[in-house]
A and B are shown apart, each in its own frame.
Chain A
Amino acid sequence: MSQPVVVVENLVKVYQKNIRAVDNISFYVYPGEIFGLIGPNGAGKTTTLRIIATVLQPTQGRVLVYGYDVAKDAAKVRRIISYLPEDAGAYKYLTGLEFLELVAKLYTKDPKKIEEFIEIGIKLSGLGDRLNDKVKTYSKGMLRRLLVAKTLMVKPKVAILDEPTSGLDVVNAVHVRESIKRFAKDVGGTVILSSHNMLEVEYLCDRVAIIHKGRILVVGKPRELMERFEASNLEEVFVKLVWGA
């Protein structure tokens, strides 16, 4: 197996008032992989993703992205990642296209690349002419598609997606999942995502980590985990692990 591109080792995150959101977790993500973090609310998924995305800093342990430490080399990490928070939005008085253009220009100064990024963004979003409308007129599904597009269009080495399909209807959720699959296949980019949707994780992820109360309970391929825990789907694996934990 090749070298991991994301290394999370003995990661601890303690907030003020001694809230231990992440408690000594370790996992590795390899190039081109779609890696899923799954767990109930308050498990520490979002905190872990925020640390990898350089929004938060670890209390203990280390997190490396392509060899760069997220705490010491945050600026270098930000150049190779693209992050979609769970509760993300967009500037509502810009049009969808203006928003994609703004994001593209923040990642590169090269006009050709800017054009390329915007083209990818237009395709990934699938919003067509609605991209000329202001973001404030978008439905939740349209907004999420726009945001997934802006995250993946810049061709990051590592895309970090927190609950990418949360709250979406079936049509929009399918569109987002397809976009993520296409990104991994066409660009060869690595994806780390979190999700509550076990079916989605089974369909999308090459490997998953089940996290509960700030600790990782198990890491493995969905198929292997189902076999190991004698479960018919990941949901059963998840339930057995969490109840047993």
Chain B
Amino acid sequence: MNMAFWLFVIKELKSLARDPKMLIAMVVVPLVLMAIVYGVLGQAVVEQIKQVTKAGYSISVIDMDRGVYAQKFVEYLRSLGVDVNLVEKDVEDKVGIDIQNISTKILFIIPRGFSENISKTIPAHIVTYVKIESLTIGEGGILDVARTYVSQFNSALLKSIARERNIPEQLLSGIVFSDIVGLLKEKIIKNPSIFFSIVTMGSVFIPMIVLLLVVFAAQLVATSIAIEKEEKMFETLLSLPINRMSVIGAKLFTSIFISSIYMLGYSLILFQLFLNQILRTTVLTPAEQMVGLDTLTSFTMPREFTVYLVVNVVGLAIFIVSLSLLLSLFAEDVRTAQAIVGNIVGPTIIVIYLPMFIEASTTETRLAIALIPIANTAFLSKFILLEDYTTSIAAAVSNIVYGLIVFVVLRKIVNSETIFTLKLFRRKRAE
């Protein structure tokens, strides 16, 4: 890096630190943005959960107990208006259960000894399998549906036992418990609550980070270029004995650097909230063995994905910041630059939050998403959860390619008189 680059980096940092308007914008704008985004998305998620809950009205049950209380459970579900599909299973069959043939989202397995345990007032467990397919944030609602059926049955049963034995209901603690297991493609997820916390994190938290990076860096770089014009330094800069790209590079670097620090600050606050939520959940163990499925107990990200993630985000940052800088060259002042960039980059909020609502179950869909800048970063968490290497590589490469194309165009403009005449013709005819 040459000296001019660092001189301008220092100058940018000094100006930012001393400009009160900039400090207000750095605190207030993201807070307002977050409030709007969460307000709108919160409502959308509630609607989505309602839709998913409807899927819980049809469930499958494998009764391996064949006892009276298993029967009561099925009857109870039917009394709630639930469409119960009883899957026939030989009690002596040790081979296992072919989960792919189960058509409903929820499968209850009532293990042997269930009724006997309840008769002896010993806790009994129902193993609940929840099929995970769309990886949308609302899909997590199905866990609550499954849990609710079991806990409602538990309450009804406690009342009945208390009545039969003439003891206060309050003296009885829970008797029927639900061990919930998630099923994602060929994998068993031991604690789907944690899994959906990660899905939520990927759908809300990661896009928020990307959003902060994109919007903030874009606004920062546009403001920084417009300030050169507003402070009437632009023409002088073009005649200085320095590489013009040093100035542009310093502005790109400073914008990305400050946005990254800022983004990390916000991320840590959000991450803290999510971590607390995850740690409150407990780890369960499935009681029945499933055939041909691997057990997914933890979510450590493969090293390759870390590389794709970094390349993807770097590519996105170069693309958006270069694009914003390019657009801001048309503006005469800070307000116009922010308006131009805001109107172009603003709608990316919609793209960023697509993962919350769009299913990425087919390879074709995922590859198409991989070619859409910004969306491909927001979808990364899903690509990683699905261990989709091809799409992750395509997403990273496409972002780098978009970033480089815009950067090359920017460089060409900066090193010609167009950088000056873009402004010139918007304002007035030169002398």
Contact = CB atoms under 8 A, between A and B. Distances in A.
Interface stretch (A13-21, A180-188, A223-231): A13-21
B431 A91 contact: no
B425 A42 contact: no
Contacts of B430: 15, 19, 21, 46-47, 50
A105 B14 CA distance: 16
Interface string B412-426: 000011001100110
B7 A102 contact: yes
Interface in B206-261: 231-233, 235-236, 238-243
B238 A54 contact: yes
Contact of A55 (B242, B243, B420, B431): B420
A91 B233 contact: yes
B416 to A, nearest CB: 8
Nearest to B415: A74
A121 to B, nearest CB: 15
B4 interface: yes
Interface of B: 3-4, 7, 11, 14-15, 18-19, 231-233, 235-236, 238-243, 416-417, 420-421, 424-425, 429-431
Given A45-B431, A102-B7, A105-B7, A16 B235 contact: no
Interface stretch (A4-12, A76-84, A123-131, A234-242): A76-84
B232 A109 contact: no
A42 B240 CA distance: 25
Contact of A105 (B3, B239, B431): B3
A72 interface: no
Nearest to B231: A89
A47 B429 CA distance: 10
Given A56-B420, A85-B236, A88-B232, A93 B18 contact: yes
A78 B244 CA distance: 11
Contact of B431 (A42, A92, A102): A42
What bracket does the count of chain A residues touching chain B fall in? 35 or more
A90 interface: yes
A81 B429 contact: no
A195 interface: no
Interface string A95-132: 00010001001110100000000000000000000000
Contacts of A46: 430-431
A56 B235 CA distance: 10
Nearest to B233: A89
Contacts of B424: 15
30 contacts: A15-B424, A15-B429, A21-B431, A41-B431, A44-B431, A46-B430, A54-B239, A55-B238, A55-B420, A56-B417, A56-B421, A78-B239, A78-B241, A83-B236, A87-B235, A88-B236, A89-B231, A89-B233, A91-B11, A91-B231, A91-B233, A92-B231, A93-B18, A94-B14, A102-B7, A105-B3, A106-B4, A106-B241, A109-B3, A160-B239
Given A88-B233, A92-B231, A105-B7, A55 B425 contact: no
Contacts of B231: 89-92
B332 to A, nearest CB: 12
Contacts of B236: 83-85, 88
A88 B232 CA distance: 5
Given A15-B421, A56-B417, A102-B7, A47 B232 contact: no
A153 interface: no
A106 B239 contact: no
Nearest to B7: A105
Contacts of A216: none
